[in-house]
Amino acid sequence: MQYLIKAKVKIKDRIVEMKREIEAENEKMAEEKFKSKIGSEQKIKRSQIRIIEIKKVS
């Protein structure tokens, strides 16, 4: 299933809103994949990522 995830991410001294579509089996796995992907791309810790919304996309 596809999930659209919106989150606020703290990058250096700014807070940026991001959204991504993630392919996962359920919401929990989608959240983990999102945090993993954003963390590795932006070089930030998971604690700096706040999930705002998770929506199932058909």
DSSP symbols for 21-38: EEE-SSHHHHHHHHHHHH
Return the CATH number of the domain spanning residue range 2-57.
3.10.20.10
Per-residue model confidence (pLDDT) at position 58: 73
Q: Cβ distance 31 to 45 under 8 Å?
A: no
What pLDDT does 50 receive?
Answer: 97
Reported as a single tens digit per residue, the pLDDT across 2-46 is 999 999 999 989 999 999 999 999 999 999 999 999 999 999 999
| β-pair partners for 6 | 19, 53
**Burial zone of 33 (CB within 10 Å; 0-12 exposed, 13-18 middle, 19+ buried):** middle
- pLDDT score at 2: 96
The pLDDT assigned to 55 comes to: 97
pLDDT for 25 equals: 95
Predicted TM-score of the model (pTM):
0.88
